Structure 1
């Protein structure tokens, strides 16, 4: 077919679990150019996640990506300049889903503790349901270079802002909330990292209660310098 795709024969394109695109039919079809491009891009991002999450960032190559996504190299380069750019796009997609899971679950709750429990629970459920994405987004991102780490750090900063808001809602005079948030988010990240790196992403929802208790720390009295 056109656009350098190596699709399945027969049958329409289908969406796989999580909204990921299946291979397109080969031969003539009436699919729009935009649909084809979107499908190809989704398959590339899925392939990157499968390779990095399943085998490690060191195994990410253009050949591996085009093989796993069943496209041609020509098609790959129509979407991305190199494997790094494809990795960043896949990571950003994972990060967006993580943030949306937390924010959407928390949005409908009024009390700070309820927002925290709902948001954190939704995030842990997402990571448990997508272990390859969890490993790529939390563990393997550290092997992908400074730009990848910077993107990871922006996600941590987003959650730090949420923690600051939570602490100040509970304790308006909480001393140094930004520092406390940095420590809390760093601790949560370490728990996620250790579980995911051991292949235990499926067990993450079970640690929600303990993680929530990390936020429920009492306000410390201010001490004179």
Structure 2
């Protein structure tokens, strides 16, 4: 017989193992890269068993997709939290890019896997990419409708322009990580390009 308490305990336990496995995959990506990572590598880093892994995920790919989804959600939350909607548009751009760079600096290998390796995974990865870009675009549009932008008399950013900005930022990010350069080096060019494209005055 199951109980609400028992179900809640099993759910909590499952969440803990799931989180550990996602972090195990993240550590293995840093160590070996996604393609070379095996389920054995993931459970070794997570300090658990293959049985536990397959209780949570059907495959390494499913675990990877979940890791990227979680990572993208954390990034968006971090950016939103960093932006003061009452500040000037250039200040909001600076804060948003700073939060983005802080996030990818903490996990460059995961960021590069999202940009370069995930697209090769097929339909599930395409759905993840579309969802992430939709959410990021929504965030940029929301920032551009903030009180700070309204006070400056600026029209909201279109979704098309948001996608152009995001696409360029992703590619610049990937090139820095691939070359082993400090991703903080993208800050100046990214901020200047964003301000120019939005027609802002710094």
Cα distance in 2, alignment partners of residues 38 and 178 from structure 1:
35
Give the conservation status (yes or no) of the 8 Å contact 1:124–1:205. Answer: yes
Structure 1: which 5+ runs fail to align? 1-31, 221-225
Structure 2 CA distance for partners of 1:34 and 1:167, relative to 1, 3 Å:
closer
User: Equivalent residue for 1:44?
Assistant: 21
Relative to structure 1, is the Cα distance of residues 75 and 162 closer, same or farther in structure 2, using a 3 angstrom cutoff? closer
**How much does 1:117 deviate?**
0.9
1:158/1:38 Cα in 2 relative to 1: closer, same or farther (>3 Å)? closer
Q: Structure 2 length as normaliser, TM-score?
A: 0.76
1:109 is displaced (CA, Å) by 4.7
> Could you report, residue by residue, the CA deviation over 1:110-144 in whole angstroms, capped at 9, with x for unpaired residues?
22221221111011012112233323333332333
Matched-pair contact (CA < 8 Å) for 1:54–1:132? no
Higher relative contact order (CA 8 A, sep 6+): 2
2:184 corresponds to which of 205, 208, 216: 205
User: By how many angstroms is 1:56 displaced?
Assistant: 2.7
CA distance in 1, matches of 2:117, 2:31: 10
Instruction: Report the 3-state secondary structure (helix = DSSP H, G, I; strand = E; otherwise coil) of the residue aligned with 1:58.
Output: coil
Return 115-124 or 129-138, whichever deviates more: 129-138
How far apart are the structure 2 equivalents of 1:166 and 1:205? 22
- Give the Cα separation in 1 of the matches to 2:197 and 2:53: 53
For residues 148 and 53 of structure 1, what CA distance do their matches in structure 2 show? 20
Structure with the higher fraction of residues in helix conformation: 2
Inter-partner Cα distance in structure 1 for 2:18 and 2:155: 48
How many residues end up aligned between the 2 structures?
Answer: 186
Deviation per residue, 1:88-128 (Å, 9 max, x gap): 22111111111111111014552222122111101101211
Verify the 8 A CA contact 2:18 2:56 in the aligned structure 1.
Answer: yes
Match of 2:194 among 202, 208, 215: 215
User: Which structure has the larger Rg?
Assistant: 1
CA distance in 1, matches of 2:64, 2:50: 16
Matched residue, 2:76: 99
Checking the alignment, whether the CA contact within 8 Å between 1:103 and 1:119 is kept in structure 2 is: yes
